[in-house]
Amino acid sequence: EKVARLNVHYTSQEWRGIRNIQKIRNDIVHRGGKLRDDEAVVDWMNKLTTLSRDYEGEIVLGNGFLSYVTHTFASYFKLIGDSIAASETRDSR
């Protein structure tokens, strides 16, 4: 980010989505699928129709969640690609 002078879009909706996806992944892998008490993640999760919790509090990935994940990452990579293109244009001047 600093060396390449790239905007890595850490304040973007896509980056926030990726951070939440990472937290869900970590809860599945390291906490046996139990969601931690993270109000921001719970709020985000409640907005998605493809992610829920069962009666025991375990995370349930619904139909379409993986499509959401790949779309989120693809959108973020586009932002990074746009930053690289802008940097190349700036550097060629």
Closest among 88, 51, 90 to 69, alpha carbons compared: 51
Contacts of 38 (CB under 8 A, 6+ apart): 23
Cβ proximity of 5 and 87 under 8 Å: yes
Q: What is the pLDDT of residue 69?
A: 97
Helix (H), strand (E) at residue 59: strand 59-61
Give the predicted TM-score (pTM) of the model: 0.86
pLDDT at 38 over 90: no
Residue type, 84: I
- Stretch 49-62: mean pLDDT, rounded? 92
pLDDT at 93 over 70: no
HEC per residue, 23-56: HHHHHHHHCCCECCCCHHHHHHHHHCCCEEECCC
